[in-house]
Structure 1
Amino acid sequence: MPAPAGSVIAAVRTALPPYRYAQEDLTEAIGDLCLPAGADRALLRRLHASAGVRTRHLTLPIERYATLGDFGRSNGTWLAAGLDLAEEALSGALKEAGLRPADVDLLVCTSVTGVAAPSLDARLAGRLGLRPDVKRLPLFGLGCVAGAAGLARVHDYLRGHPDDTAVLLAVELCSLTLQRCDDSRANLVAGALFGDGVAALVARGSATGGGGGGGPEAAGPSVVATRSHLYPDTERLLGWDIGAGGFRVVIDAGVPGIVRDHLGRNLRAFLAEQGLTTDDIGTWVCHPGGPRILSAVTEALALPGHALDSARNSLATVGNMSSVSVLHILRTLQDAPRPRPGTWGLLVAMGPGLCSELVLLRW
């Protein structure tokens, strides 16, 4: 049987920007930003129609993106808007957990859509009233896997500090990385899939009782075990090329093939170490990388068609929000009907490296 859990998810809260658009209302506007005048838009329209996205939230009104100019202005918008949304998400998560900002011992902050020094976590400390001795860990470069990997590292910390409270904050304003006047397939795919959002997760060590002042009904699952895996010779399949224009997305068509070839074997071996199989998992929390990725995961694990419905629903309503997405899905699972006590869950994500992260949960 698995070892005793080292952490309990006490609360998760998502904050979304105010500008919400239907997918069909974004298609031509993104075409205006990315394609040369008079270019054929057939591929753009196919990508938007097949992305599995119905609505998305953007940091700015869509007409503002043409005026962003250089990377400095985009990054400045990321910093200002990201801080406001981060404050909203983190304040809400702490309140939901029945905790105060001064109760936070570790703040892990991840983003792959902007850069800042001092980092977001340092700038938030005074705004929120965190303790001057709060431990901070800013993360960059993990991309879509960072929600899962960040939760895993928070769990590692709490196993060694069972009296502590830790927060994972994910800030991903993906729309600000869209490259104007770039008609590459990767940029058009990103323009069809990604949305903006921020999520905050509060976790507590085993000696705290887990749920904080929010009571048992506010607490989420325990984290039981985690596993990281890097796939060799895949560094150029996913990530960013960073230049004068900012973050230029790299998305290779070979990523679903890596999922089909490798994820099933790694995941089954991880579960076997815990005395489990895929049949024991009652709740799947999978990063919604896109319809092809979700189909590859379903195929690799021989899952029933409905197993990844939470990921497909998240993709449809808010798009792919990079590291925020798996935390957003966890948030939706807190609403009725919640998983029954004793239900096993598995949180799965992949990101640049190419890598995967697995987090075993139990409600």
Structure 2
Amino acid sequence: MDHRRHGTNRSAGRSDGLITPHLHAVGTAVPDHDIHAAFLGWARSQIPNPREARLFDRMAARSGIGHRWTVLPVREDGGSPIGPGGFYGEAVLPGTAARMAIYAEQAPVLALEAIGALAERVPLDGITHLIVASCTGFVAPGIDQIVARRLGLAPSVERLLIGFMGCYAAIAALRNARHIVRSEPTARVLVVCVELPTLHMQADETLEPLLGQLQFGDGAAAALVAAEPVGLALGRPFATTLPDSHGLIRWDITDTGFVMHLSGEVPGRIAAGLADPDFARAVTGGVPAEGVDGWAVHAGGRSILDAVQGALHLSPDALDASRRVLAANGNMSSATLMFVLSEMLERTVDRGVAIAFGPGLAAEGFSFASAR
């Protein structure tokens, strides 16, 4: 297969003599209400076919997810927002306007919690650029402006808002931060990913949409990227797409929120693609899998992690960081990879690869290594 149809296939090394940007630290935050168990009970009750309901139970038990967190308020009696008196308590679920009102209020709050966690790890003085990624809501002025104002950042701080890219938006955000630091060596770039997928729950009687919904939880992460050799050195980015796959992952904006379409074919298509050496090289930025000692793979779901691990013949513990993030939080869209990178900062990595899959079906990533 001709690798050129997949996208870039650049070397993971550095040969241009330019400065190497570094990911200094990551701060993370999740809301305090766990919605996972309540959702499972609600979703099972939606399925009229007893056989499919039992299958849902088995799939949920095998999902590798123990907790998912939501910004949605609990009921007056302290119960879950799924149920009478809760946000999702009526027969007709809330419209997009109601969901976006909560996004406008809660997304900045969660983003600032993540930034606060980051500030406990590294000083955040002298920020020159702010990059915010979010695909689960819209508001104007944007989340970037709201965050900048509440942080008291100077009006001269350059802002970039990355919207609606999906799970690989963290790659796009960090890639842009890397480009900025390489062109402006004194830059200090604050990168924030904040996602509230639980605002988009949808009633459905069919198995695939409900299984897709049970993956997602709310979360935020913040990182500092600068030139000083601290944390993780960010290598060259890469990007590719899987041919004839554009409909496998999709967001549709409707009158009742954003409807996620996550095809059950995705893990199999990823595994089949990675079986092709040219596609595998494109997905890993040309870094041989056997030489990688740090895998930061977006925790999109257990079956996706299994597909990557099996297709690349990785060791049984190679994706443990991703599996821990999935178990503790579910899939938080763009924020998820940042949670995994936070774990990578706690170890020494000689050659690492970060990968995220999302709408397209696209794979994007970059190489990384512990600072020298």
Instruction: Give the TM bin, normalised by the shorter chain.
Output: 0.7 to 0.9
Kindly report structure 1 stretches of 4+ aligned residues shifted beyond 4 Å.
34-40, 269-273
Following TM superposition, by how much is the alpha carbon of 1:269 offset from its aligned partner in structure 2, in angstroms? Answer: 5.0
The structure 2 residue matched to 1:152, chosen from 168, 172, 175, is 175
The structure 1 residue matched to 2:137, chosen from 108, 114, 130, is 114
Q: Secondary structure at the match of 2:209?
A: helix
Once residues 354 and 128 of structure 1 are traced to their aligned partners in structure 2, the CA distance between those partners, rounded to angstroms, is 36
Residues 11-62 of structure 1 show CA distances to partners (whole Å, capped at 9, x for unaligned) of 10001101125x4453113445x55799963243233212110112121233
Residues 118-151 of structure 1 show CA distances to partners (whole Å, capped at 9, x for unaligned) of 1100111111011101111111121111112221
Amino acid at match of 1:246: G
More helix, by proportion: 1
Q: 1:269 to 1:86 in 2, by over 3 A?
A: closer
The structure 2 residue matched to 1:188, chosen from 199, 206, 210, is 210
TM-score, reference length from structure 2: 0.85
The structure 2 residue matched to 1:228, chosen from 239, 247, 259, is 239
Once residues 328 and 267 of structure 1 are traced to their aligned partners in structure 2, the CA distance between those partners, rounded to angstroms, is 24
Residue matched to 1:358: 365
Unmatched 5+ stretches in structure 1: 211-218
**Is 1:339 the counterpart of 2:347 in the alignment?**
yes
Once residues 302 and 294 of structure 2 are traced to their aligned partners in structure 1, the CA distance between those partners, rounded to angstroms, is 19
Q: Following superposition of structure 1 onto structure 2, how do residues 128-147 of structure 1 map, counting pairs within 5 Å? A: 128-147=151-170
Once residues 165 and 227 of structure 1 are traced to their aligned partners in structure 2, the CA distance between those partners, rounded to angstroms, is 23
Once residues 16 and 94 of structure 1 are traced to their aligned partners in structure 2, the CA distance between those partners, rounded to angstroms, is 16
**Is 1:255 the counterpart of 2:272 in the alignment?**
no
Contact 1:110 1:138 in 2 (8 A): yes
TM-score, reference length from structure 1: 0.87
Q: Secondary structure at the match of 2:155?
A: coil
Residues 241-268 of structure 1 show CA distances to partners (whole Å, capped at 9, x for unaligned) of 2111121111112212331233463343
Contact 1:108 1:136 in 2 (8 A): yes
Once residues 71 and 172 of structure 2 are traced to their aligned partners in structure 1, the CA distance between those partners, rounded to angstroms, is 25
The structure 2 residue matched to 1:306, chosen from 317, 326, 340, is 317
**Is 1:92 the counterpart of 2:117 in the alignment?**
yes
Once residues 154 and 36 of structure 1 are traced to their aligned partners in structure 2, the CA distance between those partners, rounded to angstroms, is 48
Amino acid at match of 1:362: A
> What's the C-alpha RMSD, in Å, of the aligned pairs?
2.3
The structure 1 residue matched to 2:220, chosen from 184, 191, 198, is 198
Once residues 264 and 51 of structure 2 are traced to their aligned partners in structure 1, the CA distance between those partners, rounded to angstroms, is 23
Contact 1:10 1:203 in 2 (8 A): yes
User: Identity rate of aligned residues, in percent?
Assistant: 29
Once residues 35 and 245 of structure 1 are traced to their aligned partners in structure 2, the CA distance between those partners, rounded to angstroms, is 20
Amino acid at match of 2:331: N
The structure 1 residue matched to 2:31, chosen from 17, 24, 28, is 17
Q: 1:163 to 1:300 in 2, by over 3 A?
A: same
Residue matched to 2:65: 53
Residue matched to 1:124: 147
Contact 1:108 1:167 in 2 (8 A): yes
Residue matched to 2:56: 44
Contact 1:290 1:315 in 2 (8 A): yes
Once residues 168 and 272 of structure 1 are traced to their aligned partners in structure 2, the CA distance between those partners, rounded to angstroms, is 22
Following TM superposition, by how much is the alpha carbon of 1:272 offset from its aligned partner in structure 2, in angstroms? Answer: 7.5
Contact 1:94 1:202 in 2 (8 A): no
Following TM superposition, by how much is the alpha carbon of 1:288 offset from its aligned partner in structure 2, in angstroms? Answer: 1.1
Residue matched to 2:340: 329
Following TM superposition, by how much is the alpha carbon of 1:110 offset from its aligned partner in structure 2, in angstroms? Answer: 1.0
**Is 1:27 the counterpart of 2:50 in the alignment?**
no
Following TM superposition, by how much is the alpha carbon of 1:190 offset from its aligned partner in structure 2, in angstroms? Answer: 2.6
Which stretch shows the higher mean deviation, 260-269 or 160-169? 260-269
Aligned length: 341
